[in-house]
Amino acid sequence: MALKRILLEERQIGDDAWQVTEMYSCLDAEIASMKASLWMRRIQGLSGKMTPLAVSVKAQKSFFAKGKAMLHAVYQTPTLDQYMARYTPKGVVYVRSYAKGQQVTTDVSGKMLNGIDPDDSTGRTVWKIVRGSAAEMRPHTVYRVHAVVNSKTMYVDAFVDKVGMVNSGMMTRLGQYGAGAGELILIAMNARPLPYNKTKYVVDYDFLWSGDKGVDWNDMGLSRKFEKKAVQVEQIDTDGDAVAGGEKIHVTLVPSTSTRAVSVFKSTSFDRINRLCMWV
């Protein structure tokens, strides 16, 4: 005897999420096979990540007629974590933005605000911020790839020693329009097995954005050349007045106009992580 449906109820439980309740009748002898088929059943009319999956199947013998049973099945659209665990490897992206203080040295036009003036050949001119903060609040954005993967060797072990490296290629699914090479640095990775399946892992990869579109981490550092020189320095008395003929030679570091870009980060491919991401 085939399953005979006697009740169908559909209820929306969230945006693009549904719960479907069905009741069937079948022969007592067919309970086991019919329950198995209901666990595998897919609700018609919904597809993709919206497809409700069985979360409960109950059976009761001889409920309304001798020799027959009633089956009660409940289906729900899986949460993102449930969907990723079922259809590994998959991942979603979380974004967290905040401001971080950084010591101010120059303004936006490059004028010295805090430190030795490189235009002074004696090295005696020093600028200091006397009002307001000496820290510049720069935007920081962290992209977290939260994924469930089915291969520890490929998605966990392969990236353990890559924390602290920057992306060597375009990350098309991270950032508003994708992050260019060198703009993201892997700052943390966490991994743990699923509670009921030790062969699958929940993995979180945290990438910090450089904060400036088109500027990678290896273009942000700058080193200035200082030279040790003998400089003639005036002597002053306790009143702060110059002492006549009191000049002395003093050795000090004098900043030059020569600068050098600082590149300290190794790069590597994170394309495997990038492919996990699904914007939903």
Q: Are residues 118 and 59 in the same domain?
A: no
Domain boundary among 24, 55, 78: 78
**CATH code of the domain covering residue 37:** 3.30.200
Same-domain pairing of 198 and 209: yes
How remote is the C-alpha of 92 from its chain's centroid?
10
Place of tokens 């994170």: 270
Higher pLDDT, 2 or 29: 29
Query: What does the pLDDT look like over 196-205, one tens digit per residue?
Result: 999 999 999 9
Are 267 and 134 in the same domain? yes
* Same-domain check for residues 169 and 96: yes
What pLDDT shows up at residue 233? 77
pLDDT digits (tens, 9 = 90+) for 229-257: 888 777 887 777 777 767 778 788 888 88
Whether the per-residue pLDDT at 170 is higher than 80: the answer is yes
The verdict on whether omega for the bond into residue 193 sits within 30 degrees of 0, i.e. cis, is no
Structure tokens at 196: 């009921």
Q: What is the distance between the terminal CA atoms of the chain, rounded to a whole angstrom?
A: 42
Task: Note whether 65 and 4 are within 8 A (CB).
Answer: no
DSSP tag of 236:
B
DSSP letters, 46-112, are --GGG--EEEEEEEEETSSSTTEEEEEEEEEPPPHHHHHHHS-SEEEEEEEEEEEEEE--B-TT--B
- Quick: pLDDT tens for 70-115: 899 999 999 989 989 988 999 999 999 988 887 888 888 878 888 8
Of the residues 35, 59, 78, the one at which a domain ends: 78
As given in the structure block, the two tokens for residue 259 are: 């600068």
Q: Which residues contact 109 (CB under 8 A, 6 or more apart)?
A: none
Same domain, 10 and 103: no
Q: How many domains does the chain have?
A: 3
DSSP 277: B
Residues 166-172, mean pLDDT to the nearest whole number: 94
Residue 222 has pLDDT above 90, yes or no: no
Do 205 and 154 share a domain, yes or no?
A: yes
d(CA 78, CA 187): 30
Judged against a pLDDT cut of 50, whether residue 280 lies above it is answered with no
Domain span at 36: 4-78
Same domain, 116 and 57: no
Location of structure tokens 């067919």: 30
Instruction: Please calculate the CA angle 101-215-263 and round it to the nearest 5 degrees.
Output: 85
One domain for residues 73 and 176: no
User: Are the beta carbons of 64 and 127 closer than 8 angstroms?
Assistant: no
Q: In what order do the strands lie in the sheet with 53-61?
A: 4-14, 17-27, 68-76, 53-61
Domain end: 16, 43, 78, which one? 78
**What is the C-alpha to C-alpha distance for residues 159 and 202, in angstroms, rounded to an integer?**
14
Q: Are residues 92 and 176 in the same domain?
A: yes
Q: How far is CA 58 from CA 10, 31, 89, 185, 186, in A?
A: 18, 10, 31, 50, 47
- Residues 138 and 67 both lie in one domain: no
